[in-house]
């Protein structure tokens, strides 16, 4: 029965979601070209507030739980497990004071209203996952930018989304590159739960009624340990808050 209701609600969701992207695209352009970084950031923040609110059409709820509040005046490496594309708007909105930027695959840099524009102009970087040298160079670039301007960089070290909520082992190269190039940063571990349920039937229809939670753990200073030790501690923190009914892959 739930899946039957999911069909019309998914249609409404996609219509509202798409309209939101179309409305905010020219708003972003105006803010970026006429008023600069802060205005553009505000437009992106409210875009992602609206995209997060779209999840409520499907009966989903989003909650952020803070074990500790991260500092706002230093660079941040935001490390999270990855369950769906619906992880991203809540992180941008709820963690907006950390100025989160993304390491994204190059395919997202064109063709998607609002999203592609922000990835190209908002401080994020686009990587070619088939070209490791290019990817590492871009990660160094975003690390240098974040270190200089006290921005946040979001990284999903599993390398791909989990379809079942089960967390995969971290790939270390990307996060280690950030750590080595952001010496004054804090690492902010974030555990995502139940975002995968938004796509439990696939993209059409979408799932209904998930309680999506983001647990923000106590930050770790990059200067406090070696890169491998920091990655181990970060992974442990994220795993500690994963739904106990989900087995690790």
Q: According to the model, what pLDDT value does residue 168 have?
A: 86
Average pLDDT in the 24-53 region?
98
| Residue-number span of the structural domain to which 179 is assigned | 2-240
What is the band of 163 on the pLDDT scale with cuts at 50, 70, 90? confident
Q: According to the model, what pLDDT value does residue 249 have?
A: 53
What percentage of the chain reaches a pLDDT higher than 70?
99
- Tell me whether residue 247 is in a domain: no
- Tell me whether residue 49 is in a domain: yes
- Cα separation of 132 and 76, whole Å? 23
Whether the pLDDT of residue 231 is over 80: the answer is yes
What is the band of 161 on the pLDDT scale with cuts at 50, 70, 90? confident
- Tell me whether residue 141 is in a domain: yes
- Tell me whether residue 245 is in a domain: no
- Tell me whether residue 34 is in a domain: yes
Q: According to the model, what pLDDT value does residue 164 have?
A: 80
Cβ-based neighbours of 142, under 8 Å, separated by 6 or more:
101, 103, 123, 124, 125, 153, 178
Average pLDDT in the 219-235 region?
97
111-142 pLDDT per residue, tens: 999 999 999 999 999 999 899 999 999 999 99
User: Structural domain tally of the chain?
Assistant: 1
Q: According to the model, what pLDDT value does residue 39 have?
A: 98
Closest CA to 85 of 131, 127, 52: 52
- Cα separation of 233 and 98, whole Å? 21
Query: Whole-number mean pLDDT of the chain?
Result: 95
Domain of 211, CATH number, reads: 3.40.1130
Cα 246–chain centre separation: 21
Whether the pLDDT of residue 191 is over 80: the answer is yes
Q: According to the model, what pLDDT value does residue 247 have?
A: 55
- Tell me whether residue 225 is in a domain: yes
Whether the pLDDT of residue 4 is over 90: the answer is no
Closest CA to 135 of 186, 86, 90, 171: 171
Whether the pLDDT of residue 248 is over 70: the answer is no
- Tell me whether residue 87 is in a domain: yes
- Tell me whether residue 150 is in a domain: yes
What is the band of 165 on the pLDDT scale with cuts at 50, 70, 90? confident
Average pLDDT in the 189-209 region?
95
Determine the angle formed by the axes of helices 2-30 and 37-54, rounding to 10 degrees.
170
């Amino acid at each position: 029965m739930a899946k039957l209701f999911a069909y019309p609600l998914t249609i409404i969701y996609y219509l509202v979601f798409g309209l939101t992207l179309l409305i905010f695209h020219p708003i972003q352009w105006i803010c970026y070209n006429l008023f600069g970084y802060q205005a553009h950031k505000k437009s992106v923040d409210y875009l992602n507030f609206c995209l997060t609110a779209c999840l409520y059409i499907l009966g989903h709820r989003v909650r952020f739980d803070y074990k500790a509040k991260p500092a706002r005046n230093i660079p941040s490496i935001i490390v999270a497990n990855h369950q769906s594309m619906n992880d991203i708007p809540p992180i941008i909105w709820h963690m907006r004071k950390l100025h989160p930027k993304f390491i994204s695959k190059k395919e997202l840099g064109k063709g998607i209203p609002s999203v592609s524009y922000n990835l190209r102009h908002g401080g994020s970087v686009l990587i070619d996952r088939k070209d490791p040298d290019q990817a590492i160079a871009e990660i160094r670039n975003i690390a240098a930018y974040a270190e200089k301007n006290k921005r946040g960089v979001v990284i999903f070290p599993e390398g791909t989304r989990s379809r079942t909520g089960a967390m995969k082992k971290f790939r270390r190269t990307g996060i280690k590159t950030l750590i080595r190039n952001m010496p004054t940063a804090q690492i902010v571990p974030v555990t995502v739960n139940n975002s995968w349920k938004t796509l439990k039937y696939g993209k059409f229809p979408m799932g209904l009624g998930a309680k999506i939670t983001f647990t923000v753990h106590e930050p770790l200073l990059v200067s406090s340990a070696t890169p491998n030790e920091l990655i181990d501690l970060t992974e442990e923190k994220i795993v500690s808050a994963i739904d106990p009914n989900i087995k690790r892959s």
